[in-house]
Amino acid sequence: MNEHSQNLLERVKVLDGKSVGKSIPHDSAIGHVTGSAPYIDDLPRRVDELFVGFAGSPFAAGKIVSVELDDAQKVEGVVCVLTHNDVGPHNIFGPLFCDEPFLADGELLYIGQPLVIVAAETQAALAEGINRIVINATASEPVLSVDEAIKQKKFIGPRRQIKCGDPETAINNAPEKLSGTFYIGGQEQFYLESQAAIAFPGEQDQLIVHSSTQNTTEIQTMVAEVLGLSMHQVVCICKRMGGAFGGKETQAVIPALMVSLVAQRTGRAARIVYDKDTDMCVTGKRHAYVCNWEVGFKPDGQIVGLKCDFYSDGGAAADLSTSVMERTLLHADNSYFFEHAQFNGQVCKTNVPPNTAFRGFGGPQAVAATENIIERIAEYLKIDAFDLRLKNTYGQTDRNVTPYGQLFSGNHMSEIMETLAESSNYRHRVAKLPGRNSTDRMNLHGISMTPVKFGISFTTKFLNQANALVNVYTDGTIQVSTGGTEMGQGLNTKIRQLVADEFGVGYSSVIVMPTSTEKNNNTSPTAASAGTDLNGAAAVNGSQIIKKRLADFAAEIFASPEKGLIPSPDHIEFAGGIVSDVRQPGSGIPFSELCNRARLERIDLGARGFYKTPGVDFNRETGKGNPFLYYTQGAAVAEVSIDRFTGELTVPRVDLLMDIGKSINPKVDMGQITGGFIQGMGWVTAECLVYDEKGNLLSHSPTTYKIPAITDVPPEFNCAFFPNDDNLHCVRRSKAVGEPPLLLGVAAWAAVKNALSFLPSDHDPNLSLPATGEEILRCLTEQANG
C-alpha cells in the first residue's frame, strides 16, 4: 500500500459507522435555527427582476361586468397588467379535472380568486397598481356550506361507494341502533413559508421556475400547458419549503403560473411571495365534512352493521377533492372489522377556494367520524369505549379483511392498544373519573384512547414510483438527486443515511441536491407519507447499481491467483470508508481510492435508480382491491380537563405508541410523531375556520386563527415506538411516519366527548369537531338546560 493510501486509511478511521438507525440531526437544522437556510424569498434578486401580485374577486359568487386597467397601467414602475386575455386558450387547468380558471373569466367563484396580475419595478408601485384596478361585477348568492350544497345538488365528480356485506339488513335486524349527523371542520395548513415562486426566462422560450412546491413535476406540467410550452422547455426547482402539510401539492401552481406568465411576456425575472393574510384567504384547506351515519350493534358493543354518508366541502373547483374523498372511504373502517358496512362519498361544490390536500388526505375525517360513533355507542351502553374498541378491532387469523377486500396483514392493533393501556395506567385512571367529576365543581375530566390504521401508498397506482440520480465522485463523495421535496420532514437526511450505508461511507460524504425536473423527470408528489418509501428506495437502487460495478472492479484488484483467490464480487465489503475482500483480513483500500481508480479504468460512477411499489392495485369502480402496501399503526391516550363555566380546554397528559417499523432516524421520526399529533390535536380542539355570510374568511391571520402554541403541548407527553421489524415491504424495514400520528389527535376530541358524558343529562349534545371552547360551552349549556 502506498503512502497516499495509508494516509487515506488513517483519515477514514474517524468516519461514522452505520448511519441508518442513528439519530443524526436534520441536515438543515443549523440553517433553520440560524436563518441561513435559503427559501424562495432569500434567493438573490436579479437587477431586472419584477415584483408580482394580483387583484382578486370581490365576491364569492358573481359575474364580471368589466375590468378597468388604464389607471393601473399608468402607475410609474408598473411594467405589465395581465388578465385571462393574455393567457390564451389554456386558461383552465386542474390536477384531476380541468375545471379551475387560472385567471377569472366571466364567472367569479370565490373571494380573492385571481383576476388581474400586476408586475412592477418596486413593491410600492405594485401595491399602487393593484389598488387602481377597478373590478365591476354583479354578485350572486354564494353557496358557503356543505348543507346548502347538498340542498342545491351542487357536486363535484361522481358519488363513490365502498361496500361489504348487507349493512342495511344487518342494521335493521340489530338489537340496538343509533344514528346521527357529525360535523367536521376544516383546517388551515399554516406553513411558515407562504406560497412563493420565481421565474427566470431563458433561451429558446425556456423557463426556470423556483417554486415552494411538493410536486415539481406538477409545476412543470401546468406551466407548460397553460403557457403553451412543451415540458422540455420548463424546469422546476425546489431546494426546500418552509412547511407544506399538503398545501403545496397543487396550490403552488397558481403563483408559479403568475410569475411564469410575467417572465414569458416581459423577458424578465419575476417573483411572487404571498403575505400570510393573502395566503390564508385564497388557498385551499383541509376539507370540512358532514357525515350522516347509522349503526347497528349488540348489547355487548359488537358492531353488526354501519352506514356512513360522507359529504365534503370541495370548494369552487375539483383540485384533489375526489382523491381525498377516496381515501376517506378507504379509512372509514379505521382499526375495526366490519362484516357489513357501506361508505358513500360525495364532494360538494361551494364558493370558497378549492380545498386541497392536508396531512392525512381525508383519512382524519374518516377516523374522526368512526371514533365519534364508537364514543356514542359507549355512552349509550354505559361501557368503557376502550373495551368497545378492543371488541371490534381487526383480528389476525380471521376478521382481518377490510371493506375494500384487502387482507390486513401485519396487524398489531390489539397488542398496541393493550400495551399502551398498561403503560399509561389507563384503566386505573378511567376508574377514578366518576369520583373526580363528582367532586370537582370547577372542572370536568375525560380520558379516551383512539387507534389508527393508516394505509401507505398512493391510491392512484401510477403515482407509486420514483427515480433517483446517484453520482459518485473520485474523492469518494456522493451527490443524490430525487423527485422528493424537503419540507422540514427530514426526507433528505434519511436519504443521505441510506446511501451512505450502501457505500459504507460516513453520512457527511453524501449530499442530497435540490429537487429539479431537469435531473428527475415525471416524479410523484412528496405526499401520502411515501417520500422515503419511494425516493429512498430509488436512491438505494441507484447506489446498488454503482456498488455492483465497483464490487466487480474491486474483486479484480483483490484477486490473488497465487493464493487461489479468484475474483469474487460476493466477497467484497464496503464498510467504514474501506473496501476490502473479506477473504483477506487486513486487506482494503479507501473507498475514495477505489472510485478514482475506477474512473481511470472508465467505469461508470453514475446511475439512475428506479422504484415502483409492488402489489398495489385498487379498482375504484368496484371499490375493491389492494390500495396499500402496508399499514402504519398506533394508538394514543389523551386526558382532558374542561372548565365547567367557560368551556376552556386543557390537555394535561397524552400517551402515544406508534409502530413505524425499524426507524431510519429515531429522533427525526419522533419529531414527526410528536409534531403530527400536536397538529392533529390543534385540528380537533382549537383550529376553527370562520367565514362571514358573504364568504369572507374572518380567521385569516395568526391573531384570529388559533394553532397550538408551546403552552398547548401536554405537560406530560409520553411517546414511544412499538418494537416491530416485520415490515419486509420497505427500505430497511422502516414504515411511513408523516401522516399517521396526526390522526391520533382525535384522541383529544374523544376525551372531550368522554368528559361531557359525565354530565347528568342523558341528552347527547352532538359535539362537533373542532371542540373549541365555544363548542364545548354550547354543549355544557345544552346539557344544563336539557
Q: Does 180 map to a domain? A: no
Strand 62-68 to 134-139 pairing:
antiparallel
From 612, 644, 661, give the residue that closes a domain: 612
Asked whether residue 21 is assigned to any structural domain, the reply reads no
Q: Give the 3-state secondary structure percentages of the chain, helix then strand then coil, rounded to 5.
A: 35, 25, 40
In this structure, the answer to whether residues 752 and 669 fall within a common structural domain is yes
b/e per residue 537-562 (b: at least 16 CB within 10 A): bbbbbbbbbbbebbbebbbebbeeee
| Sole residue written with cell 401510477 | 462
Question: Which of 350-359, 461-470, 561-570, 730-739 has the least mean pLDDT?
Answer: 561-570
Domain hosting 200: range is 41-141+189-282
**In the listed set 282, 317, 332, which residue is the last one of a domain according to the structure?**
282
Please write the tens of the pLDDT for every residue from 305-347.
999 999 999 999 999 999 999 999 999 999 999 999 999 999 9
pLDDT of 263 above 50: yes
Residue 18 scores a pLDDT above 80? yes
Quick one: CA torsion of 395, 396, 399, 402, rounded to 10 degrees?
Answer: 100
- The verdict on residue 64 lying in a domain is yes
Q: Are residues 276 and 314 in the same domain?
A: no
Q: Which positions ≥6 away from 52 have C-beta within 8 Å? A: 117, 118, 119, 126, 258, 259, 262, 270, 271, 272
Residues 556-614 have pLDDT tens digits of 999 988 888 899 999 999 999 999 999 998 889 999 999 999 999 999 999 999 999 99
Mean model confidence pLDDT for the chain: 96
Q: Whole-model pTM?
A: 0.96
Average pLDDT of the segment spanning 272-283: 98
Per the domain annotation, does 35 fall within a domain?
A: no
Q: Are residues 88 and 230 in the same domain?
A: yes
Query: Could you give the residue ranges of the DSSP H alpha helices within 50-141?
Result: 70-73, 123-131
Q: What pLDDT shows up at residue 233?
A: 98
Count of other CB atoms within 10 angstroms of residue 383: 15
Question: pLDDT-derived band of residue 765, with 50, 70 and 90 as boundaries?
Answer: confident
The catalytic residue positions are: 739
| Res. 3: pLDDT tops 60 | no
Please enumerate in sequence order all residues whose Cβ is within 8 A of that of 366, keeping only pairs 6 or more positions apart, or say none. 310, 327, 328, 329, 330, 331, 332, 334, 343
Alpha carbon of 155 to those of 98, 151, 160, 311, 349: distances in Å? 15, 10, 12, 9, 5
Total structural domains in the chain?
3
**Do 534 and 568 have their domain in common?**
yes
Say yes or no to pLDDT of 4 above 50. Answer: no
Residue 26 in any domain: the answer is no
Strand 207-211, strand 234-238: pairing: parallel
Q: Check residue 525 and report its DSSP letter.
A: P
Cα–Cα dist 765/522, whole Å: 50
The answer to whether residues 228 and 259 belong to one domain is yes
C-alpha cell at 308: 356512513
Contacts of residues 571-576 at CB distance under 8 Å and 24 or more positions apart, as own/partner, are: 573/504, 574/502, 574/503, 574/504, 574/505, 574/547, 574/550, 575/17, 575/504, 576/12, 576/13, 576/15, 576/17, 576/504
For residues 239 and 42, the answer to whether their CB atoms sit within 8 Å is no
Query: What secondary structure, in 3-state letters, does 367-424 show?
Result: HHHHHHHHHHHHHHHCCCHHHHHHHHECCCCCCCECCCCCECCCCCHHHHHHHHHHHC
Dist CA 224 CA 427 (whole Å): 59
**Residue 218 · residue 294 · CB < 8 Å:** no
The answer to whether 285 touches 187, Cβ cutoff 8 Å, is yes
Asked if 182 and 749 touch (Cβ cutoff 8 Å), the reply is no
Examine residue 160 and state whether it is found in any structural domain, yes or no.
no
Quick: pLDDT tens for 125-140: 999 999 999 999 999 9
Report the pLDDT value the prediction gives residue 561, as an integer from 0 to 100.
Answer: 83
- Residue 183 burial by Cβ neighbours in a 10 Å radius (0-12, 13-18, 19+): middle
Residues 453 and 469 in one domain: no
Average pLDDT rounded to a whole number, residues 262-277 = 98
Residue 565 has a pLDDT of: 87
Q: What is the DSSP letter of 471?
A: E
pLDDT digits (tens, 9 = 90+) for 631-648: 999 999 999 999 999 999
pLDDT of residue 5: 43
659 in the same domain as 759: yes
Instruction: Tell me: do 310 and 274 sit in the same domain.
Output: no
Q: Is residue 152 part of a domain?
A: no
Show the CA angle centred on residue 279, arms to residues 273 and 280, nearest 5°. 165
Confidence check: pLDDT of 685 > 70 = yes
pLDDT at residue 15 greater than cutoff 50: no
Q: Are residues 496 and 407 in the same domain?
A: no
Q: What is the mean pLDDT of residues 755-780?
A: 93
The domain that holds 573 is classified in CATH as 3.30.365.10
Terminal CA-to-CA distance of the chain, rounded, Å?
Answer: 89
* 251 within domain boundaries: yes
Tell whether 313 and 403 lie within a shared domain. Answer: yes
User: Which residues, at least 6 apart from 490, have a Cβ–Cβ distance to it below 8 Å?
Assistant: 26, 27, 665, 668, 669, 671, 672
Last residue of a domain, one of 556, 579, 612: 612
Residue 276 in this model has a pLDDT that exceeds 80: yes
Mean pLDDT for 59-77 is 98
Of all residues in the chain, what percent carry a pLDDT higher than 70?
Answer: 98
* Angle, alpha carbons 447-448-451 (nearest 5°): 155
pLDDT value for 16: 47
Same domain, 364 and 498: no
Residues 306 and 263 placed together within one structural domain of the fold: no
Q: What is the distance between the alpha carbons of residues 485 and 492, in angstroms, rounded to a whole number?
A: 8
Residue holding cell 397598481? 129
Inter-residue contact 756 to 629 (CB < 8 Å): no
CA distance 640 to 33: 33
